[in-house]
Structure formats: C-alpha cells, structure tokens
Amino acid sequence: MPEGPELHLSSLYVNKVCDGVVFTGPVRKSEVSKCPDVHFTCEAYRITAASRGKEVKLTLTPIKSDGSKQRAKPGQADQPMDIVFRFGMSGYFRLTTVDELPKHAHLRFYTKEKSCRVLSFVDTRRFGSWHPNGTWQPDRGPCVMFEYESFRENLVSHLSDRVFDRPICEVLLNQKYFNGIGNYLRAEILYRLNIPPFVPARTVLEGLEAQDPCENEKPVTKNVTGKKTVVKAKNRVEMSDLLRMCHKVPLEVVNLGGKGYDPEKADYSGFEAWLQCYSVEGMKSVQDHNGRTIWFKGDPGPMVPKDSKSPKAKKRVKKEGDPEHTDKKKVKTNQRQKVIKQETPKKEKDTRLREAGSKTRKTERTLEVSTPRRRKSSNTDPTTGSLRKSRRVAKRNSK
C-alpha cells in the first residue's frame, strides 16, 4: 500500500511531467469507476500537485490570456479546482500517449498538444478515491514528514486519549496522530528503536516533549581520514525518540525514490536493500488486533493477540544462476536417486513374484482346456456289445 513517502513522490512526479504542459477539455472518468464525476471543463489549464501525509491534491488552474477581462464562456471553468486523492492499495499517476493509456486509468486529463497525451490516475484494485473541490481530510493529523513541529505538538497534547492504551504498533497506523505512517514504516521504526510492537503506546510516548530536543543540533557528519571513515556517535536522545524516527525514516525513503511509484524509476533493489525488518528473512510476523501483519524481532510484548496467527512467509525465489539454488537442486536430485535405488530391489522382487504367479495360473488353465474329459461307461466289459450284434445276425439268417 502506498504510504506517505510514495504519495509525496507521486506529487513530485506530477509537478515534473506537467511543468509547462497545457491541458484542455473536460476531465474524463472511466465507466467502471464509482467515484464522483469531476465537473471541470476549460480550454486551457495547468496542473500542479502537493502532498500531505497519505493524501495528494491536484490543483487545476485555468490560463487566462494577458489583459483579458472577459468572462469565461458558458460551461468553461474560470476558477481553480482542487481534487484530493487517496491512493488506496494501488493508486498512482502516469503520463502517457493516448495509444498507451493504462488499462485501469480511472480519471484522465488530456493535454492541448498535436500528439495528445494523458495524465491518468491509475488504480488497479479500485480502493483509491478522489474528491472534487476537496480539502485535506480534517480527521487526519499533521504530516509526519513536512509538518514535523505540528505533528509532535498534536501527539503530545493528546497522550491522555484512550487510544494510547492500545499497542504501539496499532496506534502508529492511526492517521489522526501519525499521518503518513503505514505498515512497512511502523515495522522499520519499531525495529530500529528495539521496541516490542505489542506494548502500550503511552508507555513508549510519555516523557517525550512537544519540541524536539535534537532539532537545533548540528546533523551527524562523517570525518574521512585516509581510507578509514569515522562516524560520530549519534545522540542517545535522538535514537530513543520515536516521534523523531517517525519523521526521519519516511524521509529516507523519499531520498531512495520510493517503491516504484515514480514510473521513471522501476528498480526496486534500492528499497529492498534499505529494508531491515519488514518482510525480511529471519524476522517474525503476527497479525495485530485489526488483522494487519506486523513484522518484528524478539519478544512481541504483553499485548499480543491471543491465538495470533503468523502469516506464511513468502519464500524468496532463487534464479537458475544462483549458486545457492543450484546446490540445493543438486542435493534434492541426489536424495531422489538414493531413494529410487533403495526402493528398486524391493519393487523388482515383488514384480518377479507376481509374474511367476501369473505364469503358473496360465499353465494350469491351458492344461484344463487341452485335456478332454472322458465319459464314464456303464459297461465294464468291452466284448459285450459285439456278442449282442452277432446274436441278432444269427436270428435273421434262421428266419
């Protein structure tokens, strides 16, 4: 699911590809989308984007000709419109030609060019949404990345709320206080601080100040001496401050380029190498009280759900050229050959016995068919018949 860093990268992408581009005509929605229609039509307008936590706002601004004080034509927009997007599970923006329009492009903005292009909001699973004439959602707190001071003040001032009685891993997904934090970010933040996921949130957060004590300190620098690189030790306060880590870790992802939500950067290797806990081999995982999977190391904490199930870990697929894959394949092949060799003598013996038995039965049947059965004669003396015949002949002659 796109989290704060991915939405910010999407806004940067829109600003980059739409810089100097003029759009025209109506905003069109796909037939299958259940989101509201965007009633905006203009002969010429520009598009800019901004992000806040897990929301992106596009601003459509009509272009007015210099010195023109005439009113816009009927049906044509003359005032800017804001459209607020929430990406759901799979939303992102893409600028393509008309012929390369993505299959799941559910909201489309057309350029005013000879070779027309389209800026599309693409959402394969259709969990995302947009709101014409929208504003930032009021129930969401300040952005953890770009409204850091307000984020800290908002959270510290609400620590008495009952929601902080819940496990820290579940509170981190509450966008009222941690706007921009999602599933992979919470796992990485808790892992770096060595905090069990199922401990009360208030015990972790109480004692933190509304103002970051490390905010005015100089950033950590590297001193290079010859071939050796000496890194100064990080401040313990900085490393133990969960709110500061909620600010720093997402910005690290922004600097990496995100998880591929910038269409021009499709390489995932940098992000996968950056992950230390989330979906990493050797880490544990259970489902929290809301059914979301949390990754961690060590003891989960006292508030872990009873009978919690650990989702099946995804096995890393090894390529044919991978030495580890080749070695395992050889071992499995040798094991199969040994099993076959062990089973062969027994199978051959059973086969011979069955064949011998079948031959014996065939021989017995052949003998029974080829040997005729003799009738039992009632006369034991073979000469009796001939005597009777001679007597009948003698009687005829005497007559």
- Residues marked active site are found at 2-3, 54
Q: What's the distance, CA 171 to chain centroid?
A: 22
Residue with tokens 């909001």: 121
**Two tokens at 68?**
């023109």
Residue with tokens 């910010």: 8
Concatenated DSSP letters of 131-165: EET----TTS--BTTT-HHHHHHHHHTTTTSGGGG
Element spanning 148, H or E: helix 148-156
Max Cα-Cα span within the chain: 164
Instruction: Tell me if 301 sits within 8 A of 167, measured CB to CB.
Output: yes
Instruction: Tell me if 104 sits within 8 A of 14, measured CB to CB.
Output: no
Element spanning 154, H or E: helix 148-156
| Residue in 316, 313, 239 with CA at minimum distance from that of residue 283 | 313
| Residue in 7, 13, 5, 11 with CA at minimum distance from that of residue 262 | 13
Strand blocks (E) in 148-307: 222-225, 228-231, 284-287, 293-296
Element spanning 109, H or E: strand 105-110
